[in-house]
Amino acid sequence: MMFSVIIPAHDSKAYIGRLLHSIKMQTFTNYEVMVVCDDCHDTTAKVAIRYADKVICTKYGSDGLARDEGLSVAEGDWILFADDDDWFVHEFCFQQIADAIKGDWTDKYKDIDILAFGYLCKGQGYIAPSEKTIFNPGDAHVWSNAWKRSAIAGAKFGDAIFCSDTYFVRDVKFRTRRYALLNMPIYYYYFNRPGSQTDRMIRGEIRVSPIAR
């Protein structure tokens, strides 16, 4: 299996279907989808089970531990992450990632551990991939990269309530820097969705440490 798609989800019945549908529509089908329903009190799991290969229900209250849970059971050679309120922008996204990783376009993609790709950000337009978007904790998003599972083995998101990307990319930096850039829009980041953790942080509702207590 080429890809494992890991999706941490929390009370996302209203929007996770859009993400899962964008995955179902992919022309490249050699993947598995894992939804980690973390501390859900709605019907997220019922929506997810219609699409996902694995639905895991947890009570962590931490997107970091939810992502680590997905990593612990992933079987794909490469890992893709997605947040429950985002989506993949068209039906050829997985095929484009796979072609690049396999070196079908150019040799520059051979023998890499990370493939960074472009994404669309609500309110900001297109964000091109760069070393900064992979390794800089303040700019990195794990969903804007494909990660070779064997190369990131042991890397953890940890006990983070939110912004767990920061801890993961810091860990990965000490394991590998073999990467390539795919300058194509692959992912849509629904930045600052009303009610999201980002929205709550901006409005000052979340004031605790990003580490779960």
User: What is the pTM for the complete model shown?
Assistant: 0.91
Residue 121 has what pLDDT? 94
* Minimum mean pLDDT range among 94-103, 113-122, 191-200: 191-200
Distance between CA atoms of residues 37 and 48, nearest Å: 9
Across all residues in the chain, what is the average pLDDT?
Answer: 89
| Cβ–Cβ < 8 Å for 72, 153 | no
Residue type, 124: Q
* Structure token pair of residue 23: 């995955």
Could you say which DSSP state residue 201 is in? H
How large is the average pLDDT for residues 6-23?
95
Q: Are strands 54-58 and 3-9 parallel, antiparallel or unpaired?
A: unpaired
**Which of 137, 121, 131 lies closest to 181 in space, CA to CA?**
131
Distance between CA atoms of residues 28 and 41, nearest Å: 33
Residue 213 has what pLDDT? 35
* Chain segment 58-83, per-residue pLDDT in tens: 999 888 999 999 999 999 999 999 99
Residue 203 has what pLDDT? 52
HSE at residue 169, side-chain half, CA atoms within 13 A, is 22
Beta bridge partners of 185: 118
Distance between CA atoms of residues 122 and 132, nearest Å: 20
Distance between CA atoms of residues 120 and 134, nearest Å: 16
Number of helices (H), then strands (E), in the chain: 7, 9
At residue 209, does pLDDT exceed 50?
A: no
At residue 197, does pLDDT exceed 70?
A: no
* Chain segment 26-43, per-residue pLDDT in tens: 999 999 999 999 999 999
At residue 199, does pLDDT exceed 50?
A: no
Q: Which residue did the predictor score with more confidence, 58 or 106?
A: 58
